[in-house]
A and B are shown apart, each in its own frame.
Chain A
Amino acid sequence: MIKLTLIPLLPLLGFLINGLMGNRLPRWIVSTIACGLPALSFLITLILFSGLAANGVPLTETLYSWAALGTLNVDVAFYFDQVSAVMCLVVTGVGTLIHIYSAGYMSHDESQPRYFAYLNLFLFFMLMLVLGKNMIVLFAGWEGVGLASYLLIGFWYKDPEKSAAGMKAFIVNRVGDTGFVLAAFLIYFYAHTLDFQAINSYFATANLPVSTMNLIGILLLIGACGKSAQLPLHVWLPDAMAGPTPVSALIHAATMVTAGVYLLSRANGVFLQAPGAMEVVIWGGALTAFLGATMGLTQYNLKKVLAYSTMSQIGYMFMACGLGSFSAGMFHLYTHAFFKACLFLGAGAVLHALHGEEDMRNMGGLYKKMPFTFYTFLAGSLALCGIPPFAGFFSKDEILWSAYASSHGGSQTIWLIATVTAGLTAFYMFRAIIMTFFGTDNVPAKLKHGIHEPPFSMAIVLLILGVSSLMAGFIGLPGVIAEKFGLSSPFFNFLTPVLGHHAIRAGLTEQTELMFMAISIIVACSGIFLSWLFYSRNPGWSAAIKKKAGGIYTAVSQGYYFDAFYENVIVKSMDILSESVLYNIGEKLLNYITIIKAGGSARFGGDLLSRLQTGSVQAYVLYVLAGLALILWWGVTNV
Chain B
Amino acid sequence: MDRYQFLTILAGLIFSLGLLGVVLRRNLLVVMMCLEIMLNAVVLSFVSFAVRGQTLPGIAMTFFIYVAASCEIALAMAIVVLLVKRRGSLDLGAHQELKG
**A, B: real partners:** yes
User: Is A612 in contact with B100, judged by CB distance below 8 angstroms?
Assistant: yes
B24 / chain A contacts, CB cutoff of 8 Å: 618
B22 / chain A contacts, CB cutoff of 8 Å: 618, 621
User: Is A613 in contact with B100, judged by CB distance below 8 angstroms?
Assistant: yes
B77 / chain A contacts, CB cutoff of 8 Å: none
Please count how many residues in chain B sit with their CB below 8 Å of the partner chain's CB atoms: 13
B56 / chain A contacts, CB cutoff of 8 Å: none
Say whether, besides A621-B23, A625-B19, A616 and B97 are in contact (CB < 8 Å). Answer: no
- Complexed CA–CA distance, A615 and B99 (Å): 4
User: Is B95 in contact with A617, judged by CB distance below 8 angstroms?
Assistant: yes
Q: Is A574 at the interface (CB under 8 A from chain B)?
A: no
Q: Is B13 at the interface (CB under 8 A from chain A)?
A: no
Chain A residue, CB-CB nearest to B96: A615
User: Is A614 in contact with B100, judged by CB distance below 8 angstroms?
Assistant: yes
Contact partner of B23 among A609, A615, A622, CB < 8 A? A622
User: Is A613 in contact with B98, judged by CB distance below 8 angstroms?
Assistant: yes
Interface 0/1 of A602-636, CB less than 8 Å to B: 00000001111111111001100100000000000
- Complexed CA–CA distance, A609 and B100 (Å): 9
In the complex, which residues 57-100 of chain B have their Cβ closer than 8 Å to any Cβ of chain A? 92-93, 95-100
- Complexed CA–CA distance, A625 and B22 (Å): 11
- Complexed CA–CA distance, A612 and B97 (Å): 14
Say whether, besides A618-B23, A625-B23, A610 and B100 are in contact (CB < 8 Å). Answer: yes
- Complexed CA–CA distance, A621 and B24 (Å): 10
User: Is B99 in contact with A617, judged by CB distance below 8 angstroms?
Assistant: no
User: Is A614 in contact with B96, judged by CB distance below 8 angstroms?
Assistant: yes
User: Is A617 in contact with B100, judged by CB distance below 8 angstroms?
Assistant: no
Chain B residue, CB-CB nearest to A607: B100
Say whether, besides A618-B23, A618-B24, A621-B23, A611 and B95 are in contact (CB < 8 Å). Answer: no
Interface centre among B22, B31, B92, B100 (most CB of A within 10 A): B100
Chain B residue, CB-CB nearest to A613: B100
B92 / chain A contacts, CB cutoff of 8 Å: 616-618
- Complexed CA–CA distance, A616 and B22 (Å): 12
B23 / chain A contacts, CB cutoff of 8 Å: 618, 621-622, 625
A616 / chain B contacts, CB cutoff of 8 Å: 92-93, 96
Please count how many residues in chain A sit with their CB below 8 Å of the partner chain's CB atoms: 13
In the complex, which residues 79-98 of chain A have their Cβ closer than 8 Å to any Cβ of chain B? none
- Complexed CA–CA distance, A613 and B98 (Å): 8
A613 / chain B contacts, CB cutoff of 8 Å: 98-100
A617 / chain B contacts, CB cutoff of 8 Å: 92, 95
Contact partner of B100 among A611, A618, A622, CB < 8 A? A611
A610 / chain B contacts, CB cutoff of 8 Å: 100
A614 / chain B contacts, CB cutoff of 8 Å: 96, 99-100
Interface 0/1 of B26-61, CB less than 8 Å to A: 000001000000000000000000000000000000
A612 / chain B contacts, CB cutoff of 8 Å: 100
- Complexed CA–CA distance, A617 and B100 (Å): 13
- Complexed CA–CA distance, A489 and B95 (Å): 101
Chain A residue, CB-CB nearest to B24: A618
- Complexed CA–CA distance, A609 and B96 (Å): 17
B97 / chain A contacts, CB cutoff of 8 Å: 615
B35 to chain A, nearest CB (A): 10
Interface 0/1 of A138-177, CB less than 8 Å to B: 0000000000000000000000000000000000000000
Interface centre among B19, B24, B98 (most CB of A within 10 A): B98
Chain A residue, CB-CB nearest to B99: A615
B99 / chain A contacts, CB cutoff of 8 Å: 613-615
B19 / chain A contacts, CB cutoff of 8 Å: 621, 625
- Complexed CA–CA distance, A33 and B3 (Å): 97
A611 / chain B contacts, CB cutoff of 8 Å: 100
- Complexed CA–CA distance, A612 and B98 (Å): 11
B95 / chain A contacts, CB cutoff of 8 Å: 617
B72 to chain A, nearest CB (A): 16
Chain A residue, CB-CB nearest to B93: A616
A618 / chain B contacts, CB cutoff of 8 Å: 22-24, 31, 92
- Complexed CA–CA distance, A615 and B92 (Å): 10
- Complexed CA–CA distance, A625 and B16 (Å): 11
- Complexed CA–CA distance, A166 and B76 (Å): 71
- Complexed CA–CA distance, A621 and B19 (Å): 9
- Complexed CA–CA distance, A622 and B19 (Å): 9
B14 to chain A, nearest CB (A): 16
B98 / chain A contacts, CB cutoff of 8 Å: 613, 615
- Complexed CA–CA distance, A625 and B31 (Å): 16
- Complexed CA–CA distance, A612 and B19 (Å): 20
A302 to chain B, nearest CB (A): 77
- Complexed CA–CA distance, A614 and B19 (Å): 19
B96 / chain A contacts, CB cutoff of 8 Å: 614-616
Chain B residue, CB-CB nearest to A619: B23
- Complexed CA–CA distance, A614 and B98 (Å): 7
A621 / chain B contacts, CB cutoff of 8 Å: 19, 22-23
- Complexed CA–CA distance, A611 and B24 (Å): 20
- Complexed CA–CA distance, A625 and B19 (Å): 9
- Complexed CA–CA distance, A618 and B19 (Å): 10
B31 / chain A contacts, CB cutoff of 8 Å: 618
- Complexed CA–CA distance, A625 and B24 (Å): 13
A96 to chain B, nearest CB (A): 75
A84 to chain B, nearest CB (A): 72
- Complexed CA–CA distance, A614 and B97 (Å): 9
- Complexed CA–CA distance, A23 and B97 (Å): 63
B71 to chain A, nearest CB (A): 20
Chain B residue, CB-CB nearest to A610: B100
Interface centre among B19, B23, B97 (most CB of A within 10 A): B23
Chain B residue, CB-CB nearest to A611: B100
- Complexed CA–CA distance, A625 and B38 (Å): 13
Interface centre among A614, A615, A625 (most CB of B within 10 A): A615
B80 to chain A, nearest CB (A): 12
Which 6 pairs of residues, A with B, have the shortest CB-CB distance?
A613-B100, A610-B100, A615-B99, A615-B96, A615-B98, A618-B23
Q: Which B positions have Cβ atoms within 8 angstroms of A?
A: 19, 22-24, 31, 92-93, 95-100
A and B contact pairs by CB, cutoff 8 A, 28 listed: A609-B100, A610-B100, A611-B100, A612-B100, A613-B98, A613-B99, A613-B100, A614-B96, A614-B99, A614-B100, A615-B97, A615-B98, A615-B99, A615-B100, A616-B92, A616-B96, A617-B95, A618-B22, A618-B23, A618-B24, A618-B31, A618-B92, A621-B19, A621-B22, A621-B23, A622-B23, A625-B19, A625-B23
| Given A613-B99, A618-B23, A618-B24, 16 new contacts (CB under 8 A) | A610-B100, A611-B100, A612-B100, A613-B98, A614-B96, A614-B100, A615-B97, A615-B98, A615-B100, A616-B92, A616-B96, A618-B22, A618-B92, A621-B22, A621-B23, A622-B23
